[in-house]
Structure 1
Amino acid sequence: AGVIPCNIARDTAGVMACTVADVAALDAIVMGAPISDYVPATLSGIKVAMPKDWAALAEKAPGSKKALELAAAAFESAGATVNRGVPDFKPLLTPPVPAEESLYNKCSFRSEGLEDYIKSHPNMNRTMDGVLAKSFYPAVKKFFESPVMVGGGVPMINMLEKKGMDEYGQVKEKFDWECAAMVEQFSKYLDDAGADVILTPCTSGPPAACMTSAEHGDPSTFGPLIMGSKAKYAPLQGLNGLPIPSIALPTPAKHENPELGGGPMPAGVLLWAKSNEDKKLIEVAMALEAALAAASAKK
């Protein structure tokens, strides 16, 4: 288990681990809590929401559809209630202000976040410029140095460049207000559904195949490659900048689209919970992991 640091402000990759118990151990360490405090939830009485639009998107990828079915069945076999008819998830991705006024997708904290992370570890003897200079791909450097809006090429606000200026505080205040409003509408969605967690697939279609190092390194092929990959995750991407916990789990289901190469790829699911309910989410995920394993062992 480990952590991939990139940005301490937004778009953090979070932890990767072999089991949910490993994630629980890391969370306990970060929170200063005993690892023994993290135990699988009792799923009896837990209510799970499956948004209708995500169920429809899963139809585009047999692996995702099967993964959802397996997870829902595992929840139900352990006593949880799965509601397959809750309203669409998509409105949760939209800031509650007119698009032309919204700053949510216009502010880039990549450079600021990376610089803050590096400065928080002075013994590394690294600078942001030095780290970016060693990046494998020129296009990756642009994500930090000259960020642009997805699809349109419109320049984003690089918040690092505004640091120390009055404008920084003004922009950040508006950005934070939008984030808080989106977190509130996400929490209301769960309350209205009477749900503890939301269950979705990991992608909105078959996962995109990886390309060669040369294709990643060539700006002419990097853009289409990244946009093609991002399209598979677009319905989730709108929540990237919010303090909303989510966790991905593999299932016995497989993506078998031929262009992946190398054989079938595990198809997983995502669980979502309210802000500040990380521990609850982890404990539900631990229980789901066990329920999936038990169901698989019976076959």
Structure 2
Amino acid sequence: MASTTMRRRAAAATAFASVLTAGAVTADAQAPVQPATFQASVAKGRAPAIVSTGVRPGVTRVVITSQATGDGREYELLRLKPGVTREAAAARLANGGKELTPNQIDQIAKDVGDFVDGGNARRGAARKAVLDLAAGTYGVLDVTDARVRSTFFDVAGNPTGAAAPAPSATIAMDEYSYGPSGTLPAGGTVRLTNAGEQLHMAIAFPARSAAAAKRLVATFKRGGRPAERLFGGPPSEPVALVSPGAQVDVPIGPRKGSVVLACFWASKASQDREHTRRGMVRTVKVR
């Protein structure tokens, strides 16, 4: 699954602030149910390890850890479609030991399962997100290497009744744009939704200045390689590849300034052109 495009997915290297929780309530009001936490870990050379047990449907904090250094480990969370068994899903993902092509990944999203979250985890920088887990069977996938390693678990039982903390901003991904929020509060939370019909991702590149951000956008749109002097710091990965309908809340880092969002996915659905070249790149302000 580590195709050329997938290898361009940046490591989530910046330290994010904690997800905002619900505010105080009055003595007469019932305290809201807090989201449960699901935790798993990914490591080179072995299948992901599921730490949490008894996962119930509802709003859940997903925490993926890794002791990997450097670029860390890339992971995806896949919810299997009804009727798809763990064995069948594992076989499709394994692909006979061969690297999955973008078109094969598109097809997996159509008839095997929905990618509901994804990101990067490394030592000292766990992947943290909040999402609503529906009942069903899920797979934690380590997609860092050509061989995809997977571990499955069930979400079952009575819903928790937990509510998601209100996000500070919302960004919708579709063909081929990010919107509507153009300003994000530093230290807040952004809700990313895939409102389109194709797979999408969001990689964030801090720009050295507003002018540098414009040059980054122009360079990505034409498929070029930007000069290093345009970047204001290491990139991060608010969300990796997710399917239509996915909704993920992620914390916003404390760094302020211009940030360029870009989607580098490319498959037959986009005429094999990276989504950036179709216009899926824009500047947002973190204040």
Asked whether the two chains share a fold, i.e. TM above 0.5, the reply is: no
Give the TM-score of the pair, scaled to structure 2. 0.23
Tell me the TM-score normalized by structure 1.
Answer: 0.22
The structure that is strand-richer by fraction is: 2
Answer 1 or 2: which has greater helix percent.
1
Higher relative contact order (CA 8 A, sep 6+): 1
Which has the greater radius of gyration? 1
